[in-house]
């Protein structure tokens, strides 16, 4: 180990290393708090000055993160945040947690990683460890990040150090957070891997060391492709069983009683979140460079992408049976978040459903107790839904249909059942036969 690496390792072991976190969103902020609460000083970076101001005031912009944690960390001098990226010279370890979405053609959009890498290259100094946490295709850390950083004149593995450790954040999960989820770590070289392993071992319950950054990148994609494929399977089963007049929820309840060989996944209106709708396309794109087909993975993507259209078709049929066209009908969509009890709207199928309804001429509203105002979304720029409508008997009785997209816990479903004339249930909230409830 070089003198530079030895000095950095000493700082990590003594918890004197300053940890920088780039991107203070759903991944970066919990990670920054985990390091701060485990004795490290943390400097967070974000391009959004509003987030920096809120953190300085001790406020949380992620609803399931207790603001007191931010107050305690800042008062103890363990957490600071800035939008000045020239301060990237200060941290000893820089953890990169920036978005990796898809382009309109469903190809990897790594522009955020590229921009961040360019910023780091201009400030990189000897003795810094860089760890990419953003989900991406195998090879990104070595082929893109390392190559660009070395263009600044420093050598990876001796002057600076580089590793990949995929985020495993599950927004809103009260049981598992950054410190309680095992952390996969792979370096671009052995020394980089050693330093990253040493850093994370101070904060997480278990570090899972793998042989390379590429292996770590692939492990993240595998985790989420596994979920994507099984979600597609159960969504397809829902469609088949529905055509047969069989309740898929009853089927799943029965199948789940088997104590081995079965893992339950629930159907829904599509897929959402920051990883599952994106990761399969990252691997499929990279596989094409090797001439390797990924038919199974791509088919799962097709099934899940199609689900919002099936919800619309079920709604149209139900309205037709009631003698109502969808154009001009008043539709209330329950839930914007991609899953229950969080305020995270990323890639939520609710937006595609609302967009299609708007295109069909319906009068649309939404209700979400966790998202009072609809955010601007990259893929649905012309969607006009405004603020969350109140959930009341009066509002429900004005609707021609209510579509349950996200099954938040703190919603009065009895009120909906009592006052809505037609309910399209995509989450199995209601069980049993009811003439005004349609499973979709």
Ordered by start, the domain boundaries in the chain are 3-211, 236-439
Per-residue confidence (pLDDT) for residue 242, from 0 to 100 = 92
Helix (H) or strand (E) segment spanning residue 397 = helix 393-397
For residue 369, what is the DSSP state?
A: T
Per-residue confidence (pLDDT) for residue 397, from 0 to 100 = 97
The answer for residues whose C-beta is within 8 angstroms of residue 283's C-beta and 6 or more apart is: 137, 138, 218, 221, 225, 294, 297
Q: Find out whether 24 and 40 touch, Cβ atoms under 8 Å.
A: no
Q: CB 71: neighbour CB atoms within 10 A? A: 16
Query: What angle in degrees, to the nearest 10, is found between the helix axes of 295-321 and 279-289?
Result: 140
Per-residue confidence (pLDDT) for residue 271, from 0 to 100 = 84
CATH classification for the domain delimited by 3-211, as one of 3.40.50.620, 2.40.440.10, 3.40.640.10, 3.40.50.720: 3.40.50.720
Q: DSSP for 154-204, please give it.
A: PPBTTTBEEEE------TT-SS--TTTS-EEEEESSHHHHHHHHHHHHTTS
| 3-class state of residue 363 by DSSP | strand
Question: 49, 51, 17: which is closest to 36 by C-alpha?
Answer: 17
Question: 167, 212, 161, 170: which is closest to 187 by C-alpha?
Answer: 212
Q: Which of 228, 275, 364, 403 is catalytic?
A: 275
Per-residue confidence (pLDDT) for residue 103, from 0 to 100 = 83
Per-residue confidence (pLDDT) for residue 106, from 0 to 100 = 79
Per-residue confidence (pLDDT) for residue 382, from 0 to 100 = 79
| 3-class state of residue 340 by DSSP | coil
CA–CA separation, 93 vs 21, rounded Å? Answer: 8
Q: Which CATH class is domain 236-439?
A: alpha beta
Q: Active-site residue 275, yes or no?
A: yes
Q: Find out whether 11 and 92 touch, Cβ atoms under 8 Å.
A: yes
Q: DSSP for 242-259, please give it.
A: HHTT--HHHHHHHHTT-S
Question: 247, 43, 22: which is closest to 113 by C-alpha?
Answer: 22
- Report if pTM > 0.85: yes
CA–CA separation, 195 vs 198, rounded Å? Answer: 5
Q: Do domains 3-211 and 236-439 have the same CATH topology?
A: yes
**255-284 burial by CB neighbour count: b if 16+ within 10 A, else e?**
eeeeeeeeeebebbbbbbbbbbbbbbbbbb
Tens digits of pLDDT across the chain (440 residues): 789 999 999 999 999 999 999 999 999 999 999 999 999 999 999 999 999 999 999 999 998 899 999 999 999 999 999 999 999 999 999 999 999 988 877 789 999 999 999 999 999 999 999 999 999 999 999 999 999 999 999 999 999 999 999 999 877 777 888 899 999 999 999 999 999 999 999 999 999 999 999 999 999 999 999 999 999 999 999 999 999 999 999 999 999 999 999 999 999 998 887 777 888 889 989 999 999 999 999 999 889 999 999 999 999 999 999 999 999 999 999 999 999 998 889 889 999 999 999 999 999 999 999 999 998 877 777 788 989 999 999 999 999 999 999 999 999 999 999 999 999 999 999 987 678 999 99
């Amino acid at each position: 180990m070089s003198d530079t690496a030895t000095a950095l390792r000493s700082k990590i072991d003594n918890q004197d290393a300053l940890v920088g976190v780039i991107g203070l969103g759903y991944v970066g902020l919990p990670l920054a708090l985990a390091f701060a609460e485990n004795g490290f000083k943390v400097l967070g970076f974000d391009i959004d000055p509003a987030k920096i101001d809120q953190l300085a005031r001790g406020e949380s912009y992620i609803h399931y993160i207790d603001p007191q944690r931010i107050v305690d960390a800042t008062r103890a001098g363990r957490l600071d945040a800035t939008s000045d990226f020239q301060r990237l010279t200060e941290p000893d370890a820089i953890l990169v947690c920036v978005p990796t979405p898809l382009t309109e053609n469903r190809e990897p959009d790594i522009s955020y990683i590229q921009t961040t890498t360019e910023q780091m290259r201009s400030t990189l100094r000897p003795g810094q460890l860089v760890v990419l946490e953003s989900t991406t295709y195998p090879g990104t850390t070595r082929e893109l990040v390392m190559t660009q950083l070395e263009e600044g004149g420093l050598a990876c593995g001796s002057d600076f150090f580089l590793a990949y450790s995929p985020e495993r954040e599950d927004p809103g999960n009260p049981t598992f957070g950054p410190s309680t989820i095992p952390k996969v770590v792979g370096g671009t070289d052995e020394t980089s891997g050693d330093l990253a392993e040493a850093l994370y071992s101070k904060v997480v319950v278990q570090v899972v060391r793998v042989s390379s950054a590429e292996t770590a990148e692939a492990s993240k994609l595998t985790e989420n492709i596994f979920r994507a494929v099984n979600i597609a399977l159960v969504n397809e089963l829902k469609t088949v069983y529905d055509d047969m007049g069989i309740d898929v929820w009853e089927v799943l309840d029965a199948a789940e009683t088997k104590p081995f060989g079965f893992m339950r996944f629930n159907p829904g209106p599509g897929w959402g979140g920051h990883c599952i709708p994106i990761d399969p396309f990252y691997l499929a794109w990279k596989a094409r460079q090797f001439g390797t087909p990924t038919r199974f993975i791509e088919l799962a993507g097709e099934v899940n992408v199609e689900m919002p259209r099936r919800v619309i078709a079920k709604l149209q049929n139900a309205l037709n049976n009631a003698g109502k066209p969808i154009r001009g009908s008043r539709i209330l969509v329950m839930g914007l978040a991609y899953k229950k009890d969080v305020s995270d709207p990323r890639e939520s199928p609710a937006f595609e459903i609302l967009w299609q309804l708007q295109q069909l001429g319906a009068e649309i509203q939404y209700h979400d107790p966790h998202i009072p105002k609809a955010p601007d979304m990259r893929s649905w720029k012309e969607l006009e839904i405004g603020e969350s409508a109140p959930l009341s008997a009066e509002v429900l009785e004005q609707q021609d249909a209510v579509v349950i997209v996200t099954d938040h816990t703190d919603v009065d479903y009895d009120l909906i059942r009592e006052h809505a004339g037609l309910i399209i249930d995509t989450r199995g909230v209601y069980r049993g036969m009811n003439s005004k409830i349609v499973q979709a």
